[in-house]
């Protein structure tokens, strides 16, 4: 199958074909998502919470992201790979942002990077895209600002913050972003943003009217079954399957049923 490229996503928006995005953090998961035909694999900094056991995405470093992005790149041959830029790798200066993004592309094998925020990152986005680094924006609930936001909760609920978010989305498009993730915002605002910009919006907890949807794969497949956000739909129950399989293995080992006697021929 033909690899997914950035211009393909714009065509999908124009033709009303919804874009399916899932996160992955390793080669095995990337291979499976790719085989199923996913359009975009996001190597999210959610790796910090989902795989590494941190309380937030803030402790995730650039080296960790490169390590996981490289693994995903080895597994996927068709999907477009987007890597998250971790906290403080793009906020300090455009030069540092370009260097950090460059490593995610060069060493990690990503085709694009994602970073969080609106107005404060516009100059950085402009500089990065001028140098040919494709940038995906991320507005609404931006997890790297979890402390300032007071937790993982829905954003842009009043008219002022909704207007600011709409303005940020238009500014990100003008700065050169090729797509924007809209996380945990009211569905009617996500719909308004999606109509107002020419680039595809990818929603998570933002209703059905975005140009695509993204979920954290561990949530979507029921691998994480403890604190699942309310907007998630679980397409499999892998935690239950793994616990069941582990119990069966333990029982068979204890009972001496595994491994079987070797047949001598």
Positions in the binding site for ligand KIV (CB under 6 A): 23, 42, 44-46, 84, 181, 183, 204, 214, 216
Instruction: Name the nearest CA neighbour of 79 among 44, 46, 31.
Output: 31
- The nearest distance, CB 198 to ligand KIV, in angstroms, is 21
Decide: 18 and 212 in contact? Cβ < 8 Å: yes
- The nearest distance, CB 241 to ligand KIV, in angstroms, is 23
- The nearest distance, CB 95 to ligand KIV, in angstroms, is 24
* Torsion over CA: 238, 240, 243, 249 (sign): negative
Decide: 62 and 86 in contact? Cβ < 8 Å: yes
- Active-site residue, from 123, 173, 183, 261: 183
Element (H, E) at 84: strand 80-84
183 is catalytic: yes
User: Judged by CB, which is closer to ligand KIV: 2, or 48?
Assistant: 48
Structure tokens at 128: 């990065």
Sequence-ordered list of residues with C-beta below 8 angstroms from that of 46, at least 6 positions apart, any chain: 23, 57, 84, 143, 216
Q: What residue is closest to ligand KIV based on CB? A: 44
Element (H, E) at 63: helix 62-75
User: Judged by CB, which is closer to ligand KIV: 207, or 259?
Assistant: 207
- The nearest distance, CB 137 to ligand KIV, in angstroms, is 11
User: Judged by CB, which is closer to ligand KIV: 193, or 204?
Assistant: 204
User: Judged by CB, which is closer to ligand KIV: 144, or 191?
Assistant: 144
Please identify every residue annotated as catalytic.
Answer: 183
């Amino acid at each position: 199958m033909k690899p997914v490229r950035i211009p393909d996503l714009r065509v999908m928006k124009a033709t009303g074909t919804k874009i399916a995005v899932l996160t992955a953090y390793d080669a095995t998961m990337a291979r499976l998502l790719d085989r199923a035909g996913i359009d975009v694999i996001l190597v999210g900094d959610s790796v910090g919470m989902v795989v590494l056991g941190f309380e937030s995405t803030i402790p995730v470093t650039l080296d960790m992201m490169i390590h996981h992005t490289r693994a995903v790149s080895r597994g996927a041959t068709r999907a477009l790979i987007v890597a998250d830029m971790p906290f403080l790798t793009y906020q300090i200066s455009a030069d540092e942002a370009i260097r950090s993004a460059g490593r995610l592309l060069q060493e990690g094998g990503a085709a694009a990077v994602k970073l969080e925020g609106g107005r404060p990152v516009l100059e950085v986005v402009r500089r990065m895209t001028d140098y040919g680094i494709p940038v995906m924006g991320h507005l609404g609930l931006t997890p790297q600002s979890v402390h300032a936001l007071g937790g993982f909760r829905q954003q842009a609920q009043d008219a002022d913050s909704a207007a600011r978010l709409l303005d940020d989305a238009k500014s990100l498009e003008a700065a050169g972003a090729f797509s924007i993730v809209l996380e945990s915002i009211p569905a009617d605002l996500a719909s308004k943003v999606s109509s107002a910009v020419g680039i595809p919006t990818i929603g998570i907890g933002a209703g059905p009217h975005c140009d695509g949807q993204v979920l954290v794969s561990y949530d979507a497949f029921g691998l994480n079954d403890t604190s699942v956000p309310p907007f998630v739909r679980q397409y499999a129950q892998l935690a239950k399957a793994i616990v069941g399989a582990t119990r069966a293995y333990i029982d068979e080992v204890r009972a001496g049923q595994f491994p079987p006697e070797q047949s001598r021929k």
